[in-house]
Structure 1
Amino acid sequence: MRTKADRIKAFRNIVGKMIPDGMYRRMLQDDYFEAPASATHHGNFPGGLYDHSEMVALTLVSMTKRMELKWDRPESPYIIGFLHDYCKVDQYTQNEQGEYVYNGETLLRGHGDKSAILLLKEMRLTDEELICIRYHMGAYEGSEMWNNLGTAIKKYPNVLWTHTADMYASHILGF
């Protein structure tokens, strides 16, 4: 299993300066590189959030090349992939048995919305990046989202590819 130092080194090698220094410092402060991705599903271990996000980013980059996807800016697959689940930095705590459990004490709720809010405090996102992060859960957001999701995909087709990369990483690869 990779260490926090291994994850940080991998991240810096992959993204270089695509992520602003202020956001990188926030990631370190929020323990992004050691947070789990879930309590009971994919990435439910220390560093699972980073491992999942790295896989989503690399999948989006691969899809972009193979399918010739067009983005508002070339670094978007990296930004979206690594930061789409930023909402999870404070989402889980460990109980007495060392198991991850949902943290009901967070001030912000939600998933895509929460990620977008946290990111916008530290960095500029294009409209496309913002919408891809907001709607990356696809139909998992619930039935009331269907109309909004369809509108988002029509305006920014990469919303669908972001969701696909997320599902591929979590459900097929187990990250």
Structure 2
Amino acid sequence: MTAKDEFIKIYTENITRKGSAELLEWIQKTDFFTAPASTKYHCACENGLVMHSVSVYNTMIEKHFDEENDNPESFAICALLHDLCKAQFYKVSTRNVKNDETGQWEKVPYYAIEDTFPYGHGEKSVFLIERFMRLKLDEAMAIRWHMGGFDDNNGFYVSNAYDRYPLAVKLHLADLESTYLREKGTSAVRR
């Protein structure tokens, strides 16, 4: 099963909220399923964004899901859609790199950022999701603050969000583990 197939299966089995079908339809019209998750850090390859989203979901479920207190739909929404802001965000470009073996300069592909809607990171994902379906407050907070200290915002706000919304902490931890531990070796442009 491809990462796209797994994403759609998890999405359709767990997310049934009003507007979710329309959101999935919109996602399928973007480059979400072919885009990288980053330019050079993790899953910087074709299909990297969907691979990362599924990885975060699996990590969240394995490590942090509590049947008595957690909602499967909220986990699926947060994990699968936390980086929706990266759809239509990257473009393939080329740069010159010297080939060590031949000594010749060669054009090689790489991912560059082309942000046509500079609305921030987590807040942009929340905005895009809510164009189609309403988020619960803890879901919006989790997606907004999933970057934790890696975001360019005041630490007081993220700390306050983590203190009030355990789902936000769980998403942040799953995102960190997926990015830095589970997705090693996925950082080259593959065409």
TM-score by length of structure 2 reads 0.80
Instruction: Quote the Cα distance in structure 1 between the aligned partners of 2:63 and 2:69.
Output: 11
Gaps of 5+ in 2: 95-107, 185-191
Gaps of 5+ in 1: none
Change (3 A) 1:108 1:17: farther
Deviations 1:57-90 (A, max 9, x none): 111111234x56723x331111100000111012
Cα deviation for residue 108 of structure 1 reads: 3.0
> Are 1:99 and 2:97 matched, yes or no?
no
> Which one is further off, 28-37 or 18-27?
18-27
Change (3 A) 1:9 1:174: closer
Q: Hey, what does 2:145 align to over in structure 1? A: 135
Instruction: Quote the Cα distance in structure 1 between the aligned partners of 2:117 and 2:91.
Output: 15
- 1:29-68 matched pairs, under 5 angstroms: 29-65=29-65
The structure that has the greater radius of gyration is 2
Q: Hey, what does 1:9 align to over in structure 2? A: 5
Instruction: Quote the Cα distance in structure 1 between the aligned partners of 2:72 and 2:44.
Output: 31
Paired residue total: 167
**Greater helix share, structure number:** 1
Contact 1:60 1:78 in 2 (8 A): no
Identity across the alignment (%): 30
Instruction: Quote the Cα distance in structure 2 between the aligned partners of 1:14 and 1:137.
Output: 23
After superposing on structure 2, the runs of 4+ consecutive aligned residues of structure 1 that deviate more than 6 Å are none
> Are 1:82 and 2:64 matched, yes or no?
no
Contact 2:4 2:50 in 1 (8 A): no
Q: Hey, what does 2:187 align to over in structure 1? A: none
Cα deviation for residue 160 of structure 1 reads: 1.3
Cα deviation for residue 52 of structure 1 reads: 0.4
Higher relative contact order (CA 8 A, sep 6+): 2
> Are 1:160 and 2:158 matched, yes or no?
no
